[in-house]
Amino acid sequence: MKIGIIANLKKASALKTINQILEYLTLKAIEPLLEIEAANLLKCRQIGVTDEELIDSCQLIIALGGDGTLLRAARLVGDKEKPILGINLGGLGFLTEFSSEEFKQGLDDFLNSTHREEKRMVLSITYRQENFFALNDCSINMGPSCRVIETIIYSDTNYVTRVVADGVVVATPTGSTAYSLAAGGPIVFPTMEAILITPLCPHALSSRPLVLPASETLTIQLDPNSEPAILIIDGQERRGFNPNDKVTIKKANHKVRLVAPKDKSYYEILRRKMKWSGKPGESIE
């Protein structure tokens, strides 16, 4: 078996944690692979490979850092559906559910096939001649002028609404606790299948978040008289989005497989990350 590590090397403890993982994998007689930059920094160039080689060769991908690192790993995995185990090196970390102290137990569970796995819905995004996948969201944001933009939204062939706002976020249930939540969108259980539309600072108070069936295909067009905008996929890919441009967003044919801690429910993660208070049996008065 081979296990690949994709790491955010800007994290202070990244190299130390990579070394700990390498030592543990060696004890288990598992061949590790690293991205070339990490392998060079750790002076183990023999296990450094390109991103494509790492994804193709490994049976498990470890995303070491924060949620941005896991989103990058999911983008690299694409439709190959390789399982991803996220290790959080600080920050909020809704997707990187294992701490640096818990990775050994997570790896053991995976190697013994006793782990818990969650399959998360992915968005397929088509813009001009390019295709993208997003685990969290796709957003259209105001451009360099910093003036509001006007988007026109269709679902399948049905006109939905016109949104005059700083932008609009289209999110998966996994992404419901990211940008969409910050903009006032709902929290949706992450293994559900749905598409969320959340306006960003809309002019009209009646412009509210909307949850649609995952079977629908969205088309969002920038009004011909709108200011230019920016299309952003999972906070990582950016494209200019000009008046009359259209983007098509729908459920992808594959899912992202996340290795999750066996002993943590999503509600426990929500309570901890959102800092919800209260315990069972406490009075609400």
Q: Which residues line the annotated binding site for NAD(+)?
A: 67-68, 72, 136-137, 147, 166, 236
The active-site residue out of 51, 56, 67, 108 is: 67
CB 9 within 8 A of CB 68: no
CB 110 within 8 A of CB 259: yes
Q: Which residues have CB under 8 Å from 272's CB, separation 6+?
A: none
Q: For residue 84, which amino acid is it?
A: I
Q: Could you give the count of Cα atoms lying within 13 Å of 116 in the half-sphere of its Cβ? A: 11
Structure tokens at 184: 């006032």
Give Cα separations from 103 to 12, 34, 54, 214 (angstroms): 18, 17, 20, 33
Q: Which residue has the tokens 């007689």?
A: 29
User: Is 67 designated active site?
Assistant: yes
State how far the Cα of 61 lies from the Cα of 59, in Å rounded to an integer: 7
State how far the Cα of 127 lies from the Cα of 150, in Å rounded to an integer: 18
State how far the Cα of 167 lies from the Cα of 73, in Å rounded to an integer: 26
Q: Among all residues, which ones are annotated catalytic?
A: 67
